[in-house]
Amino acid sequence: MIETESLTKRFGGLTAVDNLTLKVNDGEVFGFLGPNGAGKTTTVRMLSCLISKTSGEARIAGYEVGKEADSLSIRKLIGFVPDNVGLYDDLSAYDNLDFYGKLYDCAEAQRKENIQRFLTMLGLWEKRDVMAGTFSKGMKQKLAIARALIHEPKLLFMDEPTANLDPESAKTVRDFILELKKEERTIFLNTHNLDEAQRICDRIGILRTKLIATGTPQELEKALSSGGGTRKTVVLLQEQATDAILAGVRKLPAVGSVTAEGNKLEVALGDPEKQNAAVVEAIVKAGGHIQSMTIVGASLEDVYLKLVKEGGGS
C-alpha cells in the first residue's frame, strides 16, 4: 500500500525526514513512533500530498507521490486525521460530514449511510444536530475521524488521534481503530502512546529523522533482549526462597542477578529458553518446589527508549 525509497524532506538547513525507506502492507495497522520533532507528521503530510518532498520516492497503491497527475488519485484513496481537527464550528456534526462527503463526490445515499454508521460507532449519533463548536475536544476528535472516513478510504492516516483525550474518549477511539482493522483498511498511526501501539499495531516503525527500526512489537522486544537487554525467569515457589535455593541458583554459569521476595524468585539469564532447565534442577536440588516459571523479556518501552537514545547519538 505504501512504499518509500530514500524519502527526504528539508526545510532550509533542517532535515526533518532523512532517507526514509519503508513499506506498509495492505490491511495492516502500522504504528509510527518517535519523539517530538522526529519527522512523523512531516512524513504523513508528504504522503498525503499536502507538502512536497525534497528528494526520494514514495508510492501509495502504485501512484507516485509528488507526481501531479497522481495526486488527485492518492487523495481519493486516503483519509487524514490531523493533530488539529479543523472542523466548521458553525455547522452541526451531521452537516460537517455531509459537506466533506460532497467534496469527495459521495452519492447522497452513501453519505447518509456512512454519516449514521460512523457517528453511531463513535457515540455521536445523538449529537448529530449539535453545532461542532460546542463539542468537547474528545467529541471533536471523534468527529474528525468520522470525517476522514466519509468517502470510504482504503488508507487512513491518523496523527496522534488520542493525544490529550480523557481515558473514556481515548478508549472509544482505540476500539474504533480495532473495528476498522477488521475491515482490512490500512491504517498509518502516529502515536507517542507505547501501550496503544502495542495493543493495536501489527508493526511499528521507530523514527528519529532517520528510521531506526521496524518490526512487530514482539520482534522488537526480542531483538533488544537477544542483543543484551534484560531477560528474566520469574519463578513462583510453593514456599519462601531459602538461602540454599538462592545459593544453588547463583552458582549456575551465565546467571546474572538473582533476587527473591517471599516465594518469588527473579533470575536474570542470557538465554532463558536454554538455561531454565538448569535453574529448575538447582531449585529442586536445594529442596524447593516450583509452582510456575515465566520468561519476562524487554518491554516495548525498553526498546523505544534504547533505540531513540542510540538514534539520537547520545
Residue type present at position 170: A
Residues 154 and 186 sit within 8 Å (Cβ to Cβ): yes
Asked if pLDDT for residue 196 goes beyond 60, the answer is yes
- Residues with Cβ < 8 Å from 142, sequence gap 6 or more? 122, 123, 124, 169, 172, 173, 176
Asked if pLDDT for residue 314 goes beyond 50, the answer is no
What pLDDT was estimated at residue 256? 81
Cell 476522514 appears where?
Answer: 148
In a 3-state reduction of DSSP, which class is residue 201?
A: coil
| DSSP-assigned letter for residue 126 | G
Cell 522488537 appears where?
Answer: 220
Residues 44 and 53 sit within 8 Å (Cβ to Cβ): no
Rounded CA-CA distance 29/188 in Å is 6
Banded pLDDT at 191 (limits 50, 70, 90): confident
What pLDDT was estimated at residue 224? 60
Task: Please name each of the domains of the chain with its CATH number.
Answer: 2-216 (3.40.50.300), 231-296 (3.30.70.100)
Q: Crossing angle, helix 93-103 and helix 108-121, to 10 degrees?
A: 140
CA gyration radius, the chain: 25
Would you mind telling me the total number of residues written for the chain in this entry?
A: 314
Asked if pLDDT for residue 308 goes beyond 80, the answer is no
Q: Which region among 273-277, 285-289, 310-314 has the lowest average model confidence (pLDDT)?
A: 310-314
Taking every pair of Cα atoms in the chain, the longest distance, rounded to a whole number of angstroms, is: 77
Region 173-192: mean pLDDT is 89
Which cell goes with 104? 469527495
Cell 507526481 appears where?
Answer: 67
Which cell goes with 88? 466548521
How crowded is the C-beta side of 107, counted as CA atoms within 13 Å?
A: 3
Share of the chain above pLDDT 70, in %: 94
What pLDDT was estimated at residue 253? 84
What pTM was estimated for this model as a whole?
0.75
